[in-house]
Amino acid sequence: MSAASPSKPPPRLLDLVRQQTRLLHYSLRTEEAYVHWVRAFVRYHGLRHPSELAGPDITAFLTWLAHDRQAAPGTHRQALSALLFLYQKVLRQPVPWVDEIGHPKGERRLPVVMSVDEVAAVLARLDVNPLGGQHAPVGLVGRLLYGTGMRLLEGLRLRVKDVDFDRRALIVREGKGFKDRVVMLPASLELPLRDQLSRSHAIWRDDRAAGLAGVHLPHALARKYPRAAGSWSWQWVFPHAQVSVDPRTDIRRRHHLLEGAFQRAFKSAVDDAGIAKPASPHTLRHSFATHLLQSGYDIRTIQELLGHADVSTTMIYTHVLRLGGGAVRSPLDNLGPARHGTPAGPAAAAVPPANAARYPATGHAATVRPARECPFDAAASAGESPCLPTVPDPAFATRYRPTPSFAAAATSAS
């Protein structure tokens, strides 16, 4: 009589979370974030199983996260979404306490934008970055992000088949929200991209000779088209220098250039350029949209290039332009020189202000005399004031009274 085979152990909680995220076709980043917060939630409650916990326990964890850990509202919302996913999709438990949990208030921040000169300085330093070797063209990646408005991972995941030199277009596959879109290929990047494709082709040829597995293909394309992963058209435009292991399939293959390498190179370039802004690679996308608006392109065109579902998301860049120094004149600039500390005297008078009126023909500064109010008095009647008649008129004071100041009257009345 044969011994009974040992029963298969039940799957672990985190494995169930991974299975459910893949069943619903969530991205790898979402899967990693949800696993992280479920693990943190279990550790916070002393390794107790979430099925033994309820709404007050979730509230206690989120309160600790917001109060003790000083988490941002975005981090708070991500943790709450992960726990709701755990109870609703993985454990299949009702959550009647979901309305009792406080939801963090959304925040609306203006994007960080660099000027044209700052972008040029950063891109110039990316070209000489130590990471910018044969297999890490960080300078070309930076120019691609700024020239097209793509997100960092969208640019790094670019494949050979999605580069169209004839139409001068790039196709972004499965961007944010799994949406495809078309962006323009800058004319100045056509030759550098052809050179990069030549280097990528040499790497692909060596990988085929070594019998290495092909690149990762989305969904079930690897099963439908077994040879597609090893074809040239599906290869990465920016392949990584080293071969790595796929985290989901454990297959040893070549990945694209990692975003961490470019992020470190970009931060170093920003520091070397002396730019005191919290700039990141995503700042190139913000600068792309803002500079297009400054060039006169309409908001709908920029919305399509960025891939925004709602134009209100794109309108955030109009706020950046309206709140700038070139849009509204500060009342401090309307004060006299002596009132806000500007040097007065012959030296200050010799230099005309930047916004002074000028003659169109010569460009010289025009003399603008302020209007004067001339009261009727004895000195004026003697001919010392040109705005009054030389012969005194007794009815002048009654006919030409000063205009009353309604603002001053309202102020005194209040």
Confirm whether 188 is domain-assigned: yes
Overall average pLDDT of the 101-130 stretch? 85
Domain boundary among 43, 67, 100: 100
Q: Give residue 5's pLDDT band: very low, low, confident or very high (50, 70, 90).
A: low
Confirm whether 125 is domain-assigned: yes
Task: Write the CATH number for 60.
Answer: 1.10.150.130
Confirm whether 273 is domain-assigned: yes
Pair (159, 255) in one structural domain: yes
Which has more pLDDT, 349 or 280?
280
Angle between helices 55-63 and 28-44 (to 10 degrees): 100
Cα 254 to Cα 235: distance, rounded to the nearest angstrom: 9
Q: Chain-wide mean pLDDT for the chain?
A: 81
Cα 294 to Cα 286: distance, rounded to the nearest angstrom: 12
Which tokens hold the place of 216? 């990762």
> Which percentage of the chain shows pLDDT scores above 90?
46
Return the pLDDT at 331: 80
Pair (92, 142) in one structural domain: no
Q: Give residue 337's pLDDT band: very low, low, confident or very high (50, 70, 90).
A: low
- Total count of domains within the chain: 2
Return the pLDDT at 339: 60
Cα 148 to Cα 170: distance, rounded to the nearest angstrom: 9
Q: Which of 274-288, 313-327, 351-365 has the lowest mean pLDDT?
A: 351-365
Overall average pLDDT of the 235-240 stretch? 94
Confirm whether 65 is domain-assigned: yes
Overall average pLDDT of the 100-119 stretch? 84
Return the pLDDT at 342: 55
Domain boundary among 271, 301, 331: 301
Confirm whether 44 is domain-assigned: yes
Return the pLDDT at 322: 67
Q: Give residue 270's pLDDT band: very low, low, confident or very high (50, 70, 90).
A: very high
Task: Write the CATH number for 192.
Answer: 1.10.443.10
Pair (295, 260) in one structural domain: yes
State the catalytic residues. 151, 176, 282, 285, 308, 317
Pair (196, 75) in one structural domain: no
Pair (139, 287) in one structural domain: yes
Return the pLDDT at 375: 47
Pair (268, 170) in one structural domain: yes
Q: Is the pLDDT of residue 401 over 70?
A: no
Pair (210, 269) in one structural domain: yes
Return the pLDDT at 405: 44
Phi, psi (degrees; rounded to nearest 5) at 298: -75, 160
Pair (159, 288) in one structural domain: yes
Q: Are 221 and 231 in contact (CB under 8 A)?
A: no
Pair (58, 152) in one structural domain: no
Tell me the residue range of the domain where 53 lies: 13-100
List the one residue out of 127, 149, 110 whose CA is nearest residue 282: 149
Question: Burial letters for 5-14: b for 16+ Cβ neighbours within 10 Å, e otherwise?
Answer: eeeeeeeebe
Return the pLDDT at 235: 95
Confirm whether 341 is domain-assigned: no
Return the pLDDT at 246: 83
Q: Give residue 408's pLDDT band: very low, low, confident or very high (50, 70, 90).
A: very low
Pair (124, 246) in one structural domain: yes
Confirm whether 384 is domain-assigned: no
Q: Is the pLDDT of residue 381 over 80?
A: no
Pair (196, 246) in one structural domain: yes
Confirm whether 34 is domain-assigned: yes
Domain boundary among 280, 301, 322: 301
List the one residue out of 412, 115, 58, 96 whose CA is nearest residue 290: 115
Cα 8 to Cα 242: distance, rounded to the nearest angstrom: 37
Pair (95, 144) in one structural domain: no
